[in-house]
Chain A
Amino acid sequence: GAVVSQHPSWVICKSGTSVKIECRSLDFQATTMFWYRQFPKQSLMLMATSNEGSKATYEQGVEKDKFLINHASLTLSTLTVTSAHPEDSSFYICSANGGAGGAKNIQYFGAGTRLSVL
C-alpha cells in the first residue's frame, strides 16, 4: 500500500521557537496532502489542505500565519509551527491522497508528530 513518512515523531521545543514537520509520500505522488491536529481521546481535526505548487487552504479558525504549509513537490509537504507556545502542544498528523483509480480518493496517514512546547 501507499506509504507516508512523517518526521520527526516527537519534538520538544522552547516557547517562541519554530518547528518544522515533514511529510513525504514514499512510493507514490501525492497531488494533495492534508494536515490534521488531534487532541487526546478526540478524533482528527483537519487544519489545512495543500496542493502541490499552490497555496494551502486552511480550515476556519486555523491561523495561516501560525501554521505555515509548503507543498513544493509531489512527494513532500511541510508544516511549520511558528513562534510555538504551550497551547500549540498537540499531535500533528499528515496524510496524502495516493494511488491510481479509486485509491486516489483514499487518504494514507503518516505516523504523526507529537509536539511539546515548554
Chain B
Amino acid sequence: QKEVEQDPGPLSVPEGAIVSLNCTYSNSAFQYFMWYRQYSRKGPELLMYTYSSGNKEDGRFTAQVDKSSKYISLFIRDSQPSDSATYLCAMTSVDAGGTSYGKLTFGQGTILTVHP
C-alpha cells in the first residue's frame, strides 16, 4: 500500500462546476499538506499548503485536512478551462523543532479537464 493514495482520474467537468480532489495517507507523522498544480511540461506550482488539521481558503480554492481520518481535500469553485491540469497532493513530516525532514511524499496526481 502506498503512503499516499490519490485517484488518478481522469476527471472531466463542465465549466463552473465544483471540483473535489482528494488524497488519503497512512503516515500519521505527516504535518504539512500541500496541493500543487502541474500543467503539461511544466514544473508543479504551489496552490496551497496547510499545517496540521483545518481548512484554508484562497480565492476559488479551499484545502481541508482531517488528520483523524488521514484525508485531505482540495475544492475548486467555479472551475475554469484554465484549471485543466494535473493536481498533486504532497505531504511531509517535521522534526521536534518544527523543521521538515525535507522529502515530500506525493500522490499519483489527478488529471482534471474543465470543458467550456
A, B co-complexed: yes
Q: Which residues of A contact B104 (CB under 8 A)?
A: 46, 107
Question: Number of residues in A with C-beta < 8 Å to the partner?
Answer: 26
Within 8 A of A (CB), among B74-100: 88, 90, 92, 94, 98-100
Tell me if B59 is interfacial: C-beta within 8 Å of chain A. Answer: no
A46 nearest CB neighbor, chain B only? B103
B106-A43 in contact (CB<8A): yes
B45-A104 in contact (CB<8A): no
B50 nearest CB neighbor, chain A only? A102
B42-A106 in contact (CB<8A): no
B42-A111 in contact (CB<8A): yes
Q: Considering the chains assembled together, what is the distance between the CA atoms of A82 and B108 in angstroms?
A: 29
Most buried by A among B45, B99, B102: B102
Q: Which residues of A contact B43 (CB under 8 A)?
A: 4, 6, 93, 95, 109-112
Q: Which residues of A contact B109 (CB under 8 A)?
A: 43
B36-A32 in contact (CB<8A): no
Instruction: List residues of chain A with CB under 8 Å of any chain B CB.
Output: 1, 4, 6, 32, 34, 42-44, 46, 49, 91, 93, 95, 97, 102-112, 114
Give me the 8 closest cross-chain CB pairs, A-B, nearest first.
Answer: A105-B100, A109-B43, A112-B43, A109-B44, A111-B43, A43-B106, A93-B43, A110-B43
